[in-house]
Chains A and B, each alone.
Chain A
Amino acid sequence: MKTIIETQDLTRIFRTYKKREGLKGSVIGLFKREYTEKKAAYDLNFKIEEGEIVAFLGPNGAGKTTTLKMLSGLLHPSGGDAQVLGYRPWKREYAFLKQVSLVMGQRNQLWWDLPAIESFNLQRDIYEVPNEAYRKRLDELVELLDLSKILNTAVRKLSLGERMKCEMVAALLHRPKVLLLDEPTIGLDVVMQKKIRNFIKDYNREHGATILLTSHYMEDVAALAKRALVINFGRPVYEGSLEALTEKYAPNKLLVVSFMRTVESAELASIGQVISNESGVIRIQVPRATVAERASVLFNRFPVADLSIEEPQLDDIIHDLFTDTSHNQGEKIIETAQPRDQLAGIA
């Protein structure tokens, strides 16, 4: 596998003006200003191989967008180095820019007052896509995203979902080898989120594009990525497979059970911790390693009508990871093929 994105101690520090409180502070600020430095990204080291979809996770302000901006070429790093497709992104060489796309869910690159087709035509000329290839790609993308009816409607009159789909088309017309997606499904309803997710997955499968994705919607992450990079306070806290992340940060699983008679929560204390008991469906949290054993006990002791075993929600896992104070201080975990007890030792 070829490495497409590689960073070495990638760091970005921002210097921001700290305003003193009140009118007096404003007056003092006219003559003397205090600045603070914020490490938006700090010592980031990671590699992404060709064709991978990697989720880039972290709470608000963790440094995800700053990192994407550095990798797309918008920001110079304050320290460290990075290469994307063999280029230093911030040199913004045209040969590099032609192979990369940055899609930011909250930023619009289409011409607001014109139909999307005009923006697509402009993209064709900016990225030097030959007419025949352009027509073919546009037809494909329009069909995949079901855009034929809105191509000639002014962008300002489109819904958020329709606009996002058009943004995706504009970003992909030149067939980028690297796709940097910053919250591509933000603000969309669940149906549209799913459409965009499927589209990204198809694009990755058909063209072998390397994709780095940030999203606060864990459905996006779970559906698209096999590997995750997690950062907090600008520092890396986890790098590895989503599976290992789940195992590491979700030591428990859920037994979702319904009974043929009424069973009180207290009766189930020996099985595990009852999380909820609603409409006859009881959720019991049990240690991951004892799931089979506890399920068996449940069957033997109680009149079980139905039983299923569920993984905890990825949202909860990520939440636990962010709130773990040791990781807030920047201790990094690298997922390896080691057994879980050894991994626990690393953490």
Chain B
Amino acid sequence: MLVNKKIEPLTPWRWRFVFRRYWTLCKVAFQERMEYRWNVLFYAMLALLPVMVGIYLWTTIFNNRNDPQAVKYITTYYLVAGFLGWRIAQYQWTIMFEIREGRMATGLLRPMSYPAKTFWFEVGGRTWSTIITIPVFVLAAIFLGENFRTPENGWIWLLVLLSFMLAYVLNFFITASLGLLTVWQNQPEGFFALYGFGSGALGGTMVPLALMPGGIGDILQWLPFAYIYSLPARIFLGISAEQLAQGLAVQVVWLVIAALFFKWMWQKAIKGFEVYEG
């Protein structure tokens, strides 16, 4: 049987389509989320609750020690880490529902990368929910007054953004790999919830790694979770150039490892998915 081997080259004309395709995907997701603006607002308020509880708890502790600098540090850390952590998408749930509801099958039959489609669609949706979430956190920052401090150097903001983007992609590869487990495990919700809570806790969203007892923080700072949840907040608060370079380097190393792991999982899952789908 003769099989056609023709491959279309990626000419500048076609690159235009590739860009437009993902841009349209982002717009569609953005519009879809806009349909549920109140839901997004309530979720933003939900995100703020544990952050405020943490701030008041640690403020009480540090006030008792009469340490106003520590209060400012912890207040800013919680609010920034809480906000950015809330912006990190948990792709395991998206992929689980897509597999269960048959939308992954539809996606695989389209001439585009399914992982890229999933990634950009969520980016579009998150952009809308970020627009809703920002005022909620800004109001909280105003309410917290002088205990919330912002970087004086504009470059810090850019570095925070860079680190956050790397964290987002790193978390995409990890959580998308987890989501693919749905192909073999029909009820992975428990594991997904454990990961969602556990990764945040191990990444420093509940207690900053520097305040963890014994050598736990020293160990956790080498795990990927710290580079998803706390590095951008630490950069926001100000770290040395050496710490910054080391932090970004470790983040990139974890990103490469997670990307390779995802690629391996994807190849396995596609074969498994066929059994699931059949």
Chain A interface residues toward B at CB < 8 A: 6, 8, 12, 14-15, 40, 66, 69, 72-76, 81, 83, 85-88, 92-98, 100, 102, 107, 109, 111, 113-114, 118-119, 121-122, 125-128, 154
- Min C-beta distance of A313 to chain B, whole Å: 32
Given contacts A92-B109, A107-B102, could you give 20 more A-B pairs where the C-beta distance is less than 8 Å? A6-B1, A12-B278, A14-B275, A15-B275, A69-B278, A73-B109, A74-B109, A83-B1, A83-B2, A85-B4, A94-B8, A95-B6, A109-B106, A111-B28, A113-B32, A118-B28, A119-B28, A125-B17, A126-B112, A128-B14
Residue of B nearest to A94 (CB): B111
Instruction: Decide yes or no: A81 and B109 within 8 Å by CB, A114-B28, A118-B28, A125-B21 being known contacts.
Output: no
Q: How far is the CA of A32 from the CA of B24 in the complex (A)?
A: 49
A88 / chain B contacts, CB cutoff of 8 Å: 3
Measured between beta carbons, the chain A residues less than 8 angstroms from B7 are: 93, 95
Interface of A is mostly: mixed
Once the chains bind, are A86 and B2 in contact (CB under 8 Å)? yes
**B100 → A minimal CB distance (Å):** 13
Q: Which A residues lie within 8 Å of B31 (CB)?
A: 114, 118
Q: Is B65 an interface residue (CB 8 A)?
A: no
Q: When the two chains form their complex, are residues B106 and A87 in contact, meaning their CB atoms are under 8 A apart?
A: no
* Interface residue tally for chain B (C-beta within 8 Å): 32
CA distance A26 to B263 in the complex (A): 35
What is the bound-complex CA distance between A95 and B1, given in angstroms? 18
Return the contact of B35 from the options A83, A100, A114, A122 (Cβ within 8 A).
A114
A125–B110 touching, CB < 8 Å:
no
Q: With an 8 A cutoff between CB atoms, is B105 at the interface?
A: yes
A113 to chain B: which residues have CB within 8 Å?
32, 35-36
- Are A102 and B109 touching (Cβ within 8 A)? yes
Please give the residue numbers on chain B whose beta carbons come within 8 Å of chain A beta carbons, in ascending order: 1-4, 6-8, 14, 17, 20-21, 23-25, 28, 31-32, 35-36, 102, 105-106, 108-112, 271, 274-275, 277-278
The contact of B111 among A98, A111, A119, by CB within 8 Å, is A98
**CB closest residue in chain B, given A12:** B278
Instruction: Give 7 CB contacts A-B under 8 Å.
Output: A12-B278, A85-B4, A87-B3, A107-B105, A114-B35, A122-B25, A126-B21
Q: Which residues of B contact A111 (CB under 8 A)?
A: 28, 32
Across the interface, which residues of A come within 8 angstroms of B111, CB to CB?
A: 94-95, 97-98, 126-128
Question: CA of A73 to CA of B2 in the docked complex: distance in angstroms?
Answer: 17
Closest chain A residue, CB of each to CB of B19: A125
Question: How far does the alpha carbon of A14 sit from the alpha carbon of B278 in the complex, in Å?
Answer: 7
Choice from B2, B28, B32, B277 contacting A69 with Cβ under 8 Å: B277
Instruction: Give the chain A neighbours of B109 by CB distance below 8 A.
Output: 72-74, 92, 97, 100, 102
